[in-house]
Amino acid sequence: MVATVADQVVGFIGGGPPRQQDIPGAVEIYVVHVLPTHRGAGIGGQLWDLACTTLRGPALAPLYLETLAELPSCAFYDARGGEVLTRTVGTFYGGEVTFLGYHWPVGEPHQLRP
């Protein structure tokens, strides 16, 4: 799914079946990106809600994604009820990072929490 402003792609999200067999998710979000110039305008939240609602279905199938702990996107997932299920130290482009696996159990909402 993509978000456009004035016919320019400013954000995208992709997801589908989980790529790892050892995760308790029926759905995985593979990538979420909003151009820095368009962050803070609600585009990421709109993409997230549409993709998660579409992929998870009415029963809210379990959802999983992996990101880096060093990224500000963690606050986005925390605010939407994501639980850190896995924490693994690894390397990314030659530097040490921490990979976080966020999880939303079956039936748990993925929307922004008050």
Q: How far apart are CA 91 and CA 98, in angstroms?
A: 8
In a domain, 83, yes or no: yes
Task: Assess if residue 110 is contained within a domain.
Answer: no
Position 21 pLDDT exceeds 90: no
For residue 12, the enclosing domain spans: 2-104
- Counted domains in the chain: 1
Amino acid, res. 88: T
For position 41, what pLDDT does the model report? 96
Note whether 68 and 92 are within 8 A (CB). yes
Place of tokens 């997932």: 77
Whether 81 is covered by a domain: the verdict is: yes
Nearest to 80 by CA among 55, 46, 31, 41: 46
pLDDT digits (tens, 9 = 90+) for 72-99: 999 999 999 999 999 999 999 999 999 9
Give a yes or no: residue 15 inside a domain. yes
Instruction: Based on DSSP, count helices (H) and strands (E) in the chain, helices before strands.
Output: 2, 6
- Predicted model pTM: 0.92
* CATH code of 49's domain: 3.40.630.30
What pLDDT is recorded for position 28? 97
